[in-house]
């Protein structure tokens, strides 16, 4: 498996900003057949019509990708609250939007106005997909720091031993767990050169000690076990992770990058 993202030769799909608290990775149906994002009334027939529209849109987009020589696998499309606009989830890159006729892709957030706070129309759609991904993980395949006392929250953190901001977050682990927050690390080496260190951590008898050593720059013994590091890296790509640390709550919501224990607690409680 290559660690580079799918070869999308379209900057509107691949470009995405990184916050300064994360380590980046080195480098109704019309008669003419037009798709609409407006679902018919209700009932089984409505659901079938919408599913057919989604499958047709996926096929249209994949044909356009093929024509342009773009390798990209669409995993799902869903209608948004904006008429004739679909949310498109793709393997190995961030989600985008597509018009219902499949002619245009839109990269970036579509922001909902009218409330006291601005919000992206895709937040709920993306978090639902993320929750499925995270719930599929086996706890024994992760690096877990249990909460001290009663568990109030569980967070999933994509991390890399080579990432300075991951180091800063790791220093907060005792304070975080003291607040009743369980931390579940997911391996996400930011490049092929960082893969051996993370595999060595995951193959160690004591992952916590090994991760501490890796962060301190200790050269760990080469991995000698079957490990989930590459699968976890791919999971991150599927969720749109593009830097570490990337922190998610149990609902699959991306809540930020590096934070202090107090900031993290406040974010979770809100």
Active site residues: 160, 163, 166, 190
CB atoms within 10 A of CB 17: 9
Measured in degrees and rounded to the nearest 5, phi and psi for residue 100 equal -65, -20
Provide the greatest CA pair distance for the chain.
Answer: 66
What are the DSSP E strand ranges found in the chain?
Answer: 23-24, 74-79, 85-90, 96-99, 105-106, 111-112, 119-120, 143-145, 153-159, 181-187, 243-244, 246-249, 254-256
Distance CA 130, CA 160 (A): 20
Contacts 24+ apart (CB under 8 A), 69-76: 69/9, 70/7, 70/8, 70/9, 70/10, 71/6, 71/7, 71/8, 72/6, 72/8, 72/13, 73/6, 75/238, 76/129
Distance CA 67, CA 59 (A): 12
Q: Which two tokens stand for residue 149?
A: 């006392």
Cα(first)–Cα(last) distance of the chain, in Å?
38
Q: Which of 186, 181, 157 is nearest to 268 (CA)?
A: 181
Measured in degrees and rounded to the nearest 5, phi and psi for residue 84 equal 65, 25
Distance CA 250, CA 127 (A): 9
Q: Which of 56, 77, 73, 54 is nearest to 65 (CA)?
A: 73
């Amino acid at each position: 498996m290559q660690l580079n993202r799918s070869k999308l030769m379209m900057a509107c799909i691949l470009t995405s900003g990184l916050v300064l608290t994360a380590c980046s990775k080195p480098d109704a149906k019309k008669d003419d057949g037009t798709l609409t994002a407006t679902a018919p009334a209700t009932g089984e027939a409505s659901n079938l019509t919408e599913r057919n529209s989604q499958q047709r849109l996926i096929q249209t987009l994949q044909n356009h990708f093929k024509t342009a020589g773009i390798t990209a696998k669409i995993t799902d499309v869903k209608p948004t609250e904006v008429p004739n606009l679909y949310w498109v989830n793709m393997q190995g890159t961030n989600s985008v939007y597509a018009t219902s006729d499949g002619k245009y892709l839109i990269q970036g957030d579509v922001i909902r106005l009218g409330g006291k706070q601005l919000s992206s129309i895709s937040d709920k759609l993306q978090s639902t997909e993320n929750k499925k991904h995270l719930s599929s993980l086996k706890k024994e395949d992760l690096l877990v720091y249990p909460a001290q006392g009663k568990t109030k929250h569980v967070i999933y953190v994509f991390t890399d031993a080579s990432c300075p901001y991951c180091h800063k977050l790791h220093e907060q682990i005792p304070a975080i767990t003291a607040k009743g927050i369980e931390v579940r690390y997911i391996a996400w080496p930011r490049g092929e050169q960082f893969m051996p260190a993370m595999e060595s951590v995951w193959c160690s008898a004591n992952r916590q000690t090994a991760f501490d050593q890796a962060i301190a720059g200790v050269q760990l013994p080469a991995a000698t076990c079957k490990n989930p590091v590459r699968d976890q890296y791919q999971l991150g790509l599927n969720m749109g992770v593009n830097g570490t640390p990337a922190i998610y709550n149990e609902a699959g919501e991306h809540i930020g990058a590096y934070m202090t224990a107090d900031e993290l607690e406040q974010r979770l409680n809100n």
